[in-house]
Amino acid sequence: MRIISGKARGKQLATVQGQEIRPTSDRVREALFSSLTCRLGSFEQLVILDLFAGTGALALEALSRGAGAAVLVDSGRQSQRLIEKNSQICGLSSQCRLLAAPVDKALPRLSRPFDVIFLDPPYRQGLVDHTILQISELNLLAAGGVICAEEDKGTLVSDLLGRYHRVDLKQYGSTALHIFTHAPTEEAS
């Protein structure tokens, strides 16, 4: 697994064997970031939130492409060690803040809105809907921002979750990427 583009391009990220951490594949990450670049234009100075961060690959890819800062949340000790190691490998430690806590406990501790929120929870546990609803209650997505949620392609994810609606769905093998943004009535207010 490697960083695909930007200032840390080509850096090999540390990973682990087994089922505890399921990193987003290079192929899926490349497709996701291509789609996001078309939607957002640039990652320059965007503020990133990476939930269930695992190896940190999604936030690190965004930082490599110019994002200004990232908050990475994961409760697993192995993930926390990987995030710290990978941020050092990429030379991006100063732009990363790691919250070592369960996502539902960490979200209320966050105060500012984020431009891009990555959400890659364990599959088939209903965590995408639950977490996006919590993000909505806390109003953590900036105006014009996007939530990118990864789930098993066979798992149902609601089209409308709180103040956010799904604007895109892409499938890659067994992975489904759900892109959410503010519902039209929210953007107008």
The burial class, CB within 10 Å (0-12 / 13-18 / 19+), for 175 is: buried
**What's this model's pTM, rounded to 2 decimal places?**
0.92
Q: 61-76 burial, b if ≥16 CB within 10 A, otherwise e?
A: bbbbbebebbbbbbbb
Question: What is the Cα 103 distance to its own chain's centre?
Answer: 12
Question: Containing domain of residue 72, as a range?
Answer: 26-188
Residue type, 18: G
Is residue 91 a contact partner of residue 8, using CB atoms and an 8 Å limit?
Answer: yes
Give a yes or no: residue 9 inside a domain: no
Burial of 23 (C-beta count, 10 Å sphere; 0-12/13-18/19+) = buried
- The answer to whether position 146 is within a domain reads yes
Residue 20 DSSP one-character state:
S
In a domain, 182, yes or no: yes
Q: Outline where DSSP puts E strands in 34-172.
A: 47-51, 69-73, 96-99, 114-119, 141-152, 160-161, 164-172
Written as six digits, the tokens of 24 are 């987003």
Q: 3-state DSSP call for residue 157?
A: coil
Structure tokens at 172: 């890659």
| Model pLDDT, residue 189 | 44
Domain assignment present for residue 76? The answer is yes
Residue 61 to residue 70: CA distance in whole angstroms: 11
Are the beta carbons of 35 and 16 closer than 8 angstroms?
no
Give me the CATH number covering residue 102. 3.40.50.150
Residue 14 falls within a domain, yes or no? no
Residue 13 domain-assigned (yes or no): no
Number of domains, the chain: 1
| Burial grade of 157 (CB within 10 A; 0-12, 13-18, 19 or more) | middle
Q: What is the pLDDT along the chain (189 residues), one digit of tens a residue?
A: 888 898 998 899 888 765 556 667 778 888 899 999 989 989 999 999 999 999 999 999 999 999 999 999 999 999 999 999 999 999 999 999 999 999 999 999 998 899 999 999 988 888 999 999 999 999 999 999 999 999 999 899 999 999 999 999 999 888 899 999 998 864 444
* 154 within a domain of the structure (yes/no): yes
C-alpha–C-alpha distance, residues 84 and 90, integer Å? 10
Residue 19 lies in a domain: no
The residue assigned the tokens 């431009």 is 115
**Residue 182 token pair:** 């503010």
